Structures are given as C-alpha cells and as structure tokens.
Chain A
C-alpha cells in the first residue's frame, strides 16, 4: 500500500516536471518572438501604413530675454539708459533689481556699498564697469529728499458709496 502510494507520487511528480519544462520552453519561445517583433517593426503586426505624427513647422521665436518695453527692461524693471546692461549683468545675478532701485544713493555711498559687497559677499572686480554702473544708478535713481513728511500727492479721488 505504501509502495503503491510512493509510485503514484513519483509518477505525479514526473508529469508535473514535464508540464513545467514545456511551460518554461513555451514562455521562452514567446519572449524571443516578442523581442523579434519589437526590434523589427517591418514584420510587426502593429505596423500601420499611416505615419504616427505629422511634421509641423514651428515658427522660430525671437530671443526676447533682454526685451525692453516702454523704456523698461522687462526682465528686471530697470529703465533703459546708458549703462543698463552692465548693471543688469553685474547686479541681478545675485539679487533682484528692486534691491538696487529701492536704495537711492549718491556716488560715494554706491562706491562703499560695492566695496562692502566685494569684501563680504564675493562680488567680483567690476573694472571699468564700476563707473558705468554707478553713473547709471545716480543718474536714473538719484537720492530723493523727502523731508520729515511729504504733502499727500497723486490722490486718486473717488466717490465713496455706502
């Protein structure tokens, strides 16, 4: 009884083994065939006679990185005047142009501010551009004398409805 059982188990095992080998071989053949189809689209069953995409002419866009509109350098907000590009190139790599514009300083204070940036903030030697930049700044963003309190001006009058 025990021996019979063992023989049956052995037979079952052998047949299972055969099925497994056949399955593995089939999968292998299938994979190879699939690879061939993917690599060689000429014989692909997914081959279509129509092209998948059409070629559209894209108009070449103008390089407007340094566009100036109404006298204002759009990217930074600086006013267009001699020395503007030197100022853009040497100042706005590290900080916003607003930080420059809000500091209305004279020549002497700009010189000391540049010296401070060179000594402590790794600003490079500006060379001949230093005078060009300072001239641009004191000409276009001169110090404003506001006094201790200004008269309210440019009031936009409107009717307040309740």
Chain B
C-alpha cells in the first residue's frame, strides 16, 4: 500500500500541508476512543430526571483505564462506571447516571483515558490528508424541558 492510504505525516503538520510521499508513515497503532451508544443524540427529558448513558471504549493495543463525561464542554468531568474488557483488546462498556442542573440545551461529551494516561482530545488532533486517527471525544445533544 502506497500513496496516502493508511498513512499519515511522520511529523505533525499544519492543516492542509502538502506532504511528500517519503514523509508519510504507515499507521501502526490506533489511539484511545469511545462512543456514547445510548441514548441517541437529540433526547429530550423532563427536568429533574436522571439520564442513563451507556457506551463503548477501546484503546488500540492498550486498555481503557478511565472513562469520564462532561455536560459543560469539558470544564468539569465526572467519572463513569467502566467494565473490564471481556478479553485483551476487546472494547469495554461504560455507563453513567447524569443529572442536569436546570432546563436547557446540553451536550454530553465522553472521554476515555488509556492505560498510559493518554486521553481523547476534544478537538480533531493531528491533521492528515485522509483524516485518519480522529479520536476526538464523541458527544450527544440533550434537551431538558
């Protein structure tokens, strides 16, 4: 496999940079990542109700050590329940009970941290021509009515 397929710049580059073929390196490891699989984005719940969130997290060849969520765009983070993987390299289930302080629009952001202490970024990291290795935090929209 040559060209840009499954390759990223060997050294970090500014977005949109043209990278020579010899400066592209094969991806050898996948970064820590997580997804909120319940509820679907767009849930409306009534004030005072607790929202249960669930999801999956994985960390390439490592294990997920910590799972957190934020309802204030990363200003504060709370810990989720995190299961051990069923076997090595399996994804791990997480869940949390989320309370909201008042009515309005919220986003629930989820962030996993791997066993090396490396966490998911909230922004898209490391621009590359094909958009690989995007492990930015997943989020869902929630409305409290």
A103: nearest residue on chain B (CB-CB)?
A: B130
Interface flag for B124 (CB, 8 Å): yes
**Are B141 and A160 neighbours in the complex by a CB distance under 8 Å?**
no
Among A22-30, A52-60, A148-156, the stretch in contact with B: A148-156
Interface residues of A in 30-78 (CB under 8 A from B): none
Please tell me which one of the listed residues B40, B49, B51, B124 contacts residue A158 in the complex, with CB atoms under 8 A apart.
B40
Interface flag for A12 (CB, 8 Å): no
User: Which range holds the interface residue count of chain A?
Assistant: 10 to 19
Interface flag for B143 (CB, 8 Å): yes
**Are A113 and B136 neighbours in the complex by a CB distance under 8 Å?**
no
With A113-B3, A157-B44, A159-B44 known as contacts, the answer to whether A152 contacts B122 (CB < 8 A) is no
* A contact patch SS: loop
Interface flag for B42 (CB, 8 Å): yes
Give the distance in Å from the alpha carbon of A120 to the alpha carbon of B42 in the complex.
46
* Most interface-central of A152, A155, A156, A160 (chain B CB within 10 A): A160
**Are B107 and A152 neighbours in the complex by a CB distance under 8 Å?**
yes
**Are A148 and B124 neighbours in the complex by a CB distance under 8 Å?**
yes
Whole-angstrom distance between the Cβ of A86 and the nearest chain B Cβ: 23
Interface residues of A in 69-114 (CB under 8 A from B): 103, 109, 113
User: Which range holds the interface residue count of chain B?
Assistant: 20 to 34
B contacts, CB < 8 Å to A: 2-3, 39-45, 49, 51, 107, 122-124, 129-130, 136, 139, 141, 143
* B contact patch SS: loop
Give the distance in Å from the alpha carbon of A149 to the alpha carbon of B109 in the complex.
13
Whole-angstrom distance between the Cβ of A148 and the nearest chain B Cβ: 4
* Most interface-central of B42, B107, B139 (chain A CB within 10 A): B42
B2: nearest residue on chain A (CB-CB)?
A: A120
Q: Which residues of chain A are near B123, meaning CB under 8 Å?
A: 148-149
Give the distance in Å from the alpha carbon of A60 to the alpha carbon of B122 in the complex.
58
Q: Which residues of chain B are near A148, meaning CB under 8 Å?
A: 123-124
With A113-B3, A116-B3 known as contacts, the answer to whether A149 contacts B122 (CB < 8 A) is yes
Q: Which residues of chain A are near B44, meaning CB under 8 Å?
A: 157-160
Give the distance in Å from the alpha carbon of A113 to the alpha carbon of B44 in the complex.
45
Q: Which residues of chain B are near A103, meaning CB under 8 Å?
A: 130
Give the distance in Å from the alpha carbon of A119 to the alpha carbon of B92 in the complex.
43
Please tell me which one of the listed residues B2, B42, B136 contacts residue A157 in the complex, with CB atoms under 8 A apart.
B42
**Are A120 and B41 neighbours in the complex by a CB distance under 8 Å?**
no
| Selected A-B contacts with CB under 8 Å, 13 pairs | A109-B129, A113-B3, A148-B124, A149-B122, A149-B123, A155-B41, A157-B44, A157-B143, A158-B43, A158-B44, A160-B44, A160-B51, A162-B49
